[in-house]
Amino acid sequence: MKPRILVTRTLVDELLDELRRHFEVDDSQPRDGPHSADELRSRIADKDGVLLFADRVDAALLDAAPRLKAACNITVGYNNVDVAACTARGILVTNAPGVLDDTTADMTWALLLAAARRIAESDRWLRAGNWKGMKFSDRFGRDVHHATLGILGMGRIGRAVARRAVGFDMRVIYHNRTRLESALETEANARYVGMDELLAQSDFLSLHLPYTEANRNVIGAVELARMKPTAILVNASRGGLVDEPALIAALREGRVAGAALDVFDGEPTVNRGFLGLDNVVLAPHMGSATRATRLAMARLAIENLMEALAGGVPRCLVNPEALARRRG
């Protein structure tokens, strides 16, 4: 008998066909939005594995899934999963890193450029019928070339963002929990600095940290006060990294020039304070949203799920401690 799995979001037919070759697949109620907690508990009760796309997995859900052996995220982030609760029950947790690095770096640059040149604001202004002809001092934005790009968090995506700055002849500085090896610094054309210097010197500050409790609100009122009033903050990483009320106040009062955000604390709910501001670009968490990349992410998650349910060790396992307790 094939293992039973739950697919929580709508996938393309070619991926579902691949899954059906190996598993008994529950996609009888496929959807693109999140399930309610009760619905998810009902559907996962008899499953051996689950393929997730940002769905919340907590202790209450796990208590309703006595057969569950693997929870495999299609995304690189896995703060939607209570990893400790999974580990205690011998449930393997995986993510899908690496395959979305360049696509997310591209999106970071799209956000940065849109904020610098006021693209979203100007699009709304034009559509409203306000353009009556060019003026010398109209729609001034900020130059990206020759500016200083600051990167907080210099992992794979941070380095991909840094490499793209070469074409704009930018000065790149970064801060990371640990300094990169010199070869990686050279590849990224980036210089390590302390946090205070990063905040003070960056014309554009781009966040590329994982979400952890230690990183929650890493950019708050104190950090925003240390930034240039002409600076632009870009976040295509995780919403909880930024103290949103503090950022809204800084944007409204002109203490920072702008922001570009693809992620939000408590998404899909967006703090309404952002909505009335022209100096912020907002996107609905679409950093990895190209067909090629999303398919690659899903295929990696499927590989992880197949390996986990076959009794092997998935290559993207995030809780190896669970191996000693894994369910038979």
Bond into 320 cis (ω within 30): no
- Of the candidates 268, 223, 270, the one whose C-alpha atom is nearest the C-alpha of residue 250 is 223
Quote the tokens at residue 60: 């209450």
- Is the separation of the CB atoms in 270 and 38 below 8 Å? no
Q: Which of 24, 197, 267, 321 is catalytic?
A: 267
Quote the tokens at residue 182: 């010199």
Q: Is 285 a catalytic residue?
A: yes
Q: Is 267 a catalytic residue?
A: yes
- Rounded to whole angstroms, the Cα distance separating 48 from 328 reads 10
> DSSP alpha helices (H): ranges in 98-142?
101-116, 119-127
Q: Is 14 a catalytic residue?
A: no
Quote the tokens at residue 7: 């697919």
CA quadruple 129, 249, 205, 213: dihedral sign: negative
Q: Which of 89, 175, 238, 294 is catalytic?
A: 238
101: Cβ–Cβ under 8 A, 6 or more apart, which residues?
156, 157, 160
Tell me the one-letter amino acid at 197: E
How many other CB atoms are found less than 10 A from the CB of residue 298?
A: 24
- Rounded to whole angstroms, the Cα distance separating 51 from 63 reads 18
Residues acting as catalytic residues: 238, 267, 285
